[in-house]
Amino acid sequence: IFPGDAKAWKSAIAKNAESLKTDVDSINAQIVHHVETTLARAAFNVDEMAMYQAAALSVRDRLIHNWDVTQTFHTQARTKRVYYFSLEYLLGRGYDNALLNLGVRQPYNEGLKGLGFNMEDVIDVERDMGLGNGGLGRLAACYLDSTSTLDIPCWGYTLRYSQGIFKQIIDSSGNQVEVPDPWLENQNPWEIPRLDNAVEIKFHGEATPGEGGKGPGTWTGGLDVLAVPYDIPVPGYKTQTTNNIRAWSARGKVSFDLAKFNAGDYDAAVREAEEAETITRVLYPNENFDKGKALRLKQQYFWVAASLHDICRRFRKLRVPWSEFPDYNAIQLNDTHPTLAIPELMRILVDEEGQPWDEAWEIVRRTFSYTNHTVLSEALEKWSVPLVEWLLPRHLQIIYEINLDMLKDVEKKWPNDRARLARMSLIEEGYPKMVRMANLAVVGSHRVNGVAALHSHLVQQDLFPDFVEYLGRDHFGNVTNGVTARRWLLQCNPSLAKLITDTLGSDEWVVNLDKLEGLTKYAKDKAFQKKWAACKQANRERLCDYIEATLGLTVNRHALIDVQVKRIHEYKRQFMNILGVIFRYLQLKKMSPADRKRLVPRLSVFAGKAAPGYYIAKLIIRLCNAVSKTINADKDIRESLSVAFLPDYSVSLAEIIIPASDISEHISTAGTEASGTSNMKFALNGGLLLGTLDGANIEIAEAVGDENVFFFGHVTPDVPKLRRAHHFGEVQYPAELLEVVDAIRSGMFGEAGVFEPLLGTLFEGKDHYLVSDDFLSYLQAQKMVDEAYVDQPSWVEKTINSTARMGRFASDRAVLQYAEEIWNIEPIKIPQDA
């Protein structure tokens, strides 16, 4: 195995491993090594950023070591691997997480102290890896953490965007302004460039179908672009397993055209390279919305083609028949974004590997499975046929062939049912015709799942009823989302984590979240309640400090903290929340100072980004800021109510906000939020939920008890008839809502006219998300929160019980369910001597 002298290698490897010892002195030596050599700095010249970089590089050395061992072991053991295809990985910061997972946070803490640095300050200079928009990308990050922790061989595949999610600034009028996210500016210690593993990806060109449509076809000519992989190691918690996220970056095949340069055409000399690099220049900043831009389709193909190329190359080395491909590879499609992988694998199998069409199709279906993350029609991906034909001519032929087979089959089962054929076709008729990516994902997979019980039901009932009939019920299922307790409790809430570990006598809950159940015993225990409440207060203070530092706003540090943080979207109804805040403000204004004092003081916290082109969502942000300006400036009210819109919501900001919350709002119109995952994080951190009967809220209440969740609003089956009532103008608007609308129109919160388009969404048949229908019930729920909070012992008991019963929302549970029910893969522990 070793070139040259095996003894020399072995001794060098052993020595090198020794340099990774975890006592404080060794750790400091490793850090100083990077200060002196990698950063080329002297001790007097080390600031917090340099210290972060050096410490992170020393952690990276450990990660790479474990990564090497893991990958070598998996390869030699010929294990099956899962490939999680996700266009987004919202990883956040890596340093603290890696320290905790590697079990070296304590010695690093001490080491840094000795070198004159404070751990929290060093952690704070790290930039988030923001390669995602919201829930979908963060879910992928949690799942990768779980696969490593559970010793399940897994690789994530994604794109390495030069610009991740934009940075949000709020201007003086309260508007969102987007500025680029320079996450790579200071170099990223968490990625390993693999420049020698680049892959060529083709676009455009000419295609001919194979004989009879099913024989091997050809695809020639066209434009080649290079895909360069960057690997991000993902450490498991206290295990050597370190899985990988491979992120592709686009490069021109020729970085510089010397002939054109010599001819004096300087622009043309670099143009091709620049055009290629555009493919991975920026993450599309839309969530739950499909814009149908050509560059996005290019991104999608570039990504899945490079990833499949990689997977197939690895598979060929096994030297087994292609029919065994699904025994070694499971590919999870995270939403429809990677659906082109289905025709691409068909192309590889049929055109390049000479596999018969029907056998290739069998391999494809056994390999892929598809997770749906939304039922919102504006988010369902469709690509225009002319666009697909122009960019990927061979793939369009393959899609047509798949469609023909399916439609013939459907026709056999349901003769002369043209309407059914039209509904199920992979091609939607119209001008232009469109390829329906979800239909393709459904037929090209062996399993389709939604992400919460209600959502999975709606996926079957509303989105794919014909496919349920055609493919059978077993083709569809549910895997309720989950979150990793490593980041979302152990890391973000160290004081509560410590209290839990001390109380349970073990930290086993970190890898077996059901163990939290043991806390219920202490829910009524006064001494324990006191400690529990003290953790919340400390987290509250931390958030108040942050608010003061970023907004210059001093708030009542004993106020109930009411949080809504997530992408800004009409269906998530931040609008209803801020209307409720205004209502509270108007009530407070009418009260005597004594009555005001009796009411539980509130701090309403908002954060979230709006897609740059989403006008109404941006107006919601503006309204939140306008309302906060008026309320926070009102001296009479200040102690009772304040409002903070925190700019630039991110994973690391969530880590500060979530542990501090008393109430968090998950108030989407019933049937619109597929699952939600922040609801799980809040409940896990001893916050109660105020929500609608939507997404995972329902299952959370089942787990923690209805008495520990504040529900309100209409249920999913009510929605169509309420929408109809709006359409026919048969709606009674509650006086409370009209009073709030009048207040906005009066100019109480600045230029009234600015908000007219937003207010317009409530009236004249436009209230698609039923804010007016749920508003009264929302206010009542808020009143119940106020009343419940007064009885502190009972409130704290609720929060303890709620944390204690959140075990089933661990991403570990979700990943194990995928492994057993969908991927057919077993955990495999890396032996000590590997």
- Residue closer to ligand CJB (CB basis): 133 or 478: 133
Question: In the annotation, is 572 catalytic?
Answer: yes
Q: Pull the structure tokens for residue 145.
A: 């953490």
Which position among 567, 573, 666, 805 bears the catalytic label? 567
| Chain centroid to CA 667 | 19
| Interacting residues of 608 by C-beta distance below 8 A, sequence separation 6+ | 564, 565, 566, 567, 568, 574, 621, 649
Which position among 446, 447, 681, 798 bears the catalytic label? 681
Give the nearest distance from C-beta 370 to ligand CJB in angstroms.
13
- Residue closer to ligand CJB (CB basis): 703 or 796: 703
Give the nearest distance from C-beta 769 to ligand CJB in angstroms.
14
| Interacting residues of 451 by C-beta distance below 8 A, sequence separation 6+ | 139, 371, 372, 373, 478, 479, 480, 481, 674, 675, 696
- Residue closer to ligand CJB (CB basis): 134 or 229: 134
- Residue closer to ligand CJB (CB basis): 134 or 713: 134
Give the nearest distance from C-beta 480 to ligand CJB in angstroms.
10
Question: In the annotation, is 214 catalytic?
Answer: no
Q: β-strand 199-203 against 223-235: which pairing, if any?
A: antiparallel
Which position among 127, 373, 486, 622 bears the catalytic label? 373
Give the nearest distance from C-beta 538 to ligand CJB in angstroms.
29
- Residue closer to ligand CJB (CB basis): 617 or 785: 617
Closest CA to 136 of 329, 309, 248, 283: 283
Whole-angstrom distance, CA of residue 573 vs CA of residue 570: 5
Q: Write phi, then psi, for 691 (nearest 5 degrees).
A: -155, 175
- Residue closer to ligand CJB (CB basis): 291 or 413: 291
Give the nearest distance from C-beta 379 to ligand CJB in angstroms.
5
Q: Pull the structure tokens for residue 623.
A: 């309204």
Q: β-strand 448-450 against 476-478: which pairing, if any?
A: parallel
Whole-angstrom distance, CA of residue 129 vs CA of residue 139: 14
- Residue closer to ligand CJB (CB basis): 28 or 288: 288
* Cis amide bond preceding 432, omega within 30: yes
Question: In the annotation, is 260 catalytic?
Answer: no
CA angle at 682 for the pair 681 and 686, rounded to the nearest 5°: 115
Which position among 147, 672, 677, 761 bears the catalytic label? 677
Give the nearest distance from C-beta 723 to ligand CJB in angstroms.
20
**Which residue's Cβ has the minimum distance to ligand CJB?**
135
Question: In the annotation, is 7 catalytic?
Answer: no
Residue with structure tokens 């195995």?
Answer: 1
| Interacting residues of 547 by C-beta distance below 8 A, sequence separation 6+ | 553, 555, 605, 644, 646
- Residue closer to ligand CJB (CB basis): 676 or 713: 676
The binding site for ligand CJB (CB under 6 A) comprises 133-136, 139, 287-288, 335, 373-374, 379, 451, 481, 673-677, 695
Give the nearest distance from C-beta 12 to ligand CJB in angstroms.
45
| Interacting residues of 594 by C-beta distance below 8 A, sequence separation 6+ | none
What is the dihedral sign for C-alpha 358, 359, 362, 364?
negative
Give the nearest distance from C-beta 481 to ligand CJB in angstroms.
5
Let me know: does 832 contact 89? Beta carbons within 8 Å. Answer: no
Burial group, residue 591, by CB count within 10 angstroms (0-12, 13-18, 19+): middle
- Residue closer to ligand CJB (CB basis): 287 or 699: 287
Give the nearest distance from C-beta 822 to ligand CJB in angstroms.
15
Amino acid at 771: V
- Residue closer to ligand CJB (CB basis): 55 or 814: 814
Whole-angstrom distance, CA of residue 48 vs CA of residue 260: 46
Give the nearest distance from C-beta 578 to ligand CJB in angstroms.
20
- Residue closer to ligand CJB (CB basis): 96 or 673: 673
3-state secondary structure labels for all residues of 328-342 = HEEEEEECCCCCCHH
Which position among 34, 246, 572, 618 bears the catalytic label? 572
Give the nearest distance from C-beta 404 to ligand CJB in angstroms.
30
Whole-angstrom distance, CA of residue 273 vs CA of residue 261: 13
Give the nearest distance from C-beta 222 to ligand CJB in angstroms.
30
| Chain centroid to CA 420 | 35
Helix axes 526-551, 494-504, angle to 10 degrees: 170
Half-sphere exposure of 450 (CA within 13 A, CB side): 24
- Residue closer to ligand CJB (CB basis): 165 or 471: 165
Which position among 81, 93, 455, 566 bears the catalytic label? 566
| Interacting residues of 144 by C-beta distance below 8 A, sequence separation 6+ | 84, 89, 154, 156, 234, 243, 245
Whole-angstrom distance, CA of residue 209 vs CA of residue 814: 41
Residue positions counted in the chain: 834
| Interacting residues of 560 by C-beta distance below 8 A, sequence separation 6+ | 600, 601, 602, 603, 662, 663, 785, 786, 789
| Residues taking part in catalysis | 373, 566-567, 572, 677, 681
